[in-house]
């Protein structure tokens, strides 16, 4: 495999992971514009523990993910008092605050950036990605996934059927953060240098775009969205800016024409039906 193809695949793997981090909260109706902040926590924590205590990368990833999850759980209760656009704005502010914290945290280099000593192998990143996808896929086959939809759709009815709406919301939010932490840790050990500016609002926005482009109804949607987002700019020739122009036009057109995203449960159902009728 060429170095270029490998680099693209690695970028793709990380994007696919973080797309799932945006997807879980969105499945419960939470627009998390602070995903990049949780990625930053995962990245810095993993980098710090592997640098300082010489832990293996796998343990670094686990600590990074755990730290992001913990911060999310602690903040979820006050944060999730808000909903809809208020929650989107609150998470946006949270992302900015987390970024500002790392910008001032001397122990990880503050604004100057932080070098990550341990570099993850291609296979480690791929294995981690596959594990995350497998777990999210399993989760999507459970009642939990059904309740995410129920809570997004109608929290009052969900509550009357005995579902602990707050618990489901907190879980969706913090599991999203956990996966973002994994994605951030992978990023740290792939690119080997961390700067707080890497984890800005634009990154959060892009992650949300992966999910909404692909569609929030299935696990496959965000994966496809991440593929599309990663590969489209590579496929478009010309300057980087032109790529983004085309890309922006694509976003606008897609949201206007197919707001539910590229992949919907209805589409999958039709595809399976066709396969069955053929077979």
Partner 1 sequence: MLLLQQIINGLMMGGIYVLVAVSFTLTIGVLNFLNFSIPGIFMLSAIMAWRALENGWHWGLAIPFGLLVAICASFVVERFTYRFMKNVDHEIPLVSSIGFLILFENLVLVAWGSDQQKFPSLIPDLNIRAGGLIIGIGQMLSLALALLLVIGISLLLKRTQLGRGIRALAENAETATLLGIEVHRIVPVLFVVTGLLTGISGILFAMNYQQVSAAMGDVVGLKGIAAMVIGGMGNIWGAIIGGLLIGLTEVLSIYFFGADKVDFYVYGLFLVLIILRPQGILGSSAATGVKL
Partner 2 sequence: MSKPALLEFAEVSKLFGGLAVITQLSFKVDAGERLALIGPNGAGKSTVFNLISGVYPLSAGRILIEGKDITQMASRRRIYHGVSRSFQNIRLMEHQTAIENIMLGQHPTASSLSDLLTPYRLQRRSPWVEEAKEALARAKLAQYAERPVNTLPYGVRKRIDLLRAVMARPKLLLLDEPAAGLNPVETEELHEQLMAIHDSGITLLVVEHDMHFVDRLCTRVVVINFGEKIAEGTMDEVRRDAKVREAYLGAEVATEASDAS
Binding site for partner 1 (CB under 8 A): 26, 29, 31, 78-79, 81-82, 84-86, 88-90, 92-94, 96-97, 99-101, 103-104, 110-111, 201, 205, 208-209, 212, 216, 239, 241-242, 244-245, 247-249, 251-252, 255-256, 259-260
- Which among 10, 35, 24 is positioned nearest to 129, based on CA atoms? 10
State how far the Cα of 166 lies from the Cα of 76, in Å rounded to an integer: 9
Which of the listed partners (partner 2, partner 1, none) does 112 bind, with a CB threshold of 5 to 8 Å by partner kind? Answer: none
Which of the listed partners (partner 1, partner 2, none) does 220 bind, with a CB threshold of 5 to 8 Å by partner kind? Answer: none
How far apart are CB 57 and partner 1 at their closest, in Å? 30
Answer for which of 153, 234, 244, 270 binds partner 2 (CB under 8 A) is: 153
Q: Which stretch binds partner 2 (CB under 8 A): 7-15, 87-95, 158-166, 244-252?
A: 158-166
Answer for which of 119, 258, 269, 274 binds partner 2 (CB under 8 A) is: 269
Answer for which of 77, 157, 202, 252 binds partner 2 (CB under 8 A) is: 157
For 82, residues 6+ apart whose C-beta sits below 8 A from its C-beta are 89, 90
* Contact between 151 and 50 (Cβ < 8 Å): no
Q: Which is nearer to partner 2, 131 or 153 (CB)?
A: 153
By CB under 8 A, the count of residues binding partner 2 is: 28
Which of the listed partners (partner 2, partner 1, none) does 3 bind, with a CB threshold of 5 to 8 Å by partner kind? Answer: none
Answer for which of 1, 2, 85, 162 binds partner 2 (CB under 8 A) is: 162
Q: Which is nearer to partner 2, 52 or 142 (CB)?
A: 142
- Kindly list the residues in this chain that would bind partner 2 in the complex (CB under 8 A): 138-144, 146-147, 149-150, 153-154, 156-165, 217, 264-266, 269
């Amino acid at each position: 495999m060429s170095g270029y193809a490998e680099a693209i695949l690695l970028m793709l793997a990380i994007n696919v992971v973080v797309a799932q981090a945006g997807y879980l909260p969105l499945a419960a109706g939470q627009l998390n514009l602070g995903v990049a902040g949780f990625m930053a926590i995962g990245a810095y924590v993993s980098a710090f523990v592997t640098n300082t205590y010489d832990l293996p990368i796998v343990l670094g990833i686990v600590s990074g993910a755990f730290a992001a999850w913990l911060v999310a759980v602690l903040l979820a209760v006050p944060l999730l008092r808000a909903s809809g656009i208020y929650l989107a704005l609150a998470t946006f502010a949270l992302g900015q605050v987390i970024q500002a914290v790392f910008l001032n945290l001397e122990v990880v280099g503050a604004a100057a950036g932080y070098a990550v000593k341990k570099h993850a192998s291609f296979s480690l990143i791929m294995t981690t990605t596959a594990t995350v996808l497998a777990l999210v896929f399993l989760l999507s086959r459970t009642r939990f996934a059904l309740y995410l939809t129920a809570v997004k759709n109608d929290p009052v009815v969900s509550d009357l059927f005995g579902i602990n709406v707050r618990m489901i919301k907190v879980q969706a939010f913090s599991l999203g953060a956990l996966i973002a932490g994994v994605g951030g840790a992978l990023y740290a050990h792939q690119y080997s240098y961390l700067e707080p500016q890497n984890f800005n609002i634009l990154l959060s926005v892009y992650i949300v775009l992966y999910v909404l482009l692909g569609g929030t109804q299935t696990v496959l949607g965000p994966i496809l969205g991440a593929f599309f987002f990663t590969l489209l700019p590579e496929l478009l020739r010309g300057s980087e800016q032109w790529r983004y122009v085309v890309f922006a036009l694509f976003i606008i057109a897609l949201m206007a024409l197919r707001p539910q995203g590229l992949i919907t449960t209805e589409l999958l159902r039709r595809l399976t039906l066709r396969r069955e009728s053929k077979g």
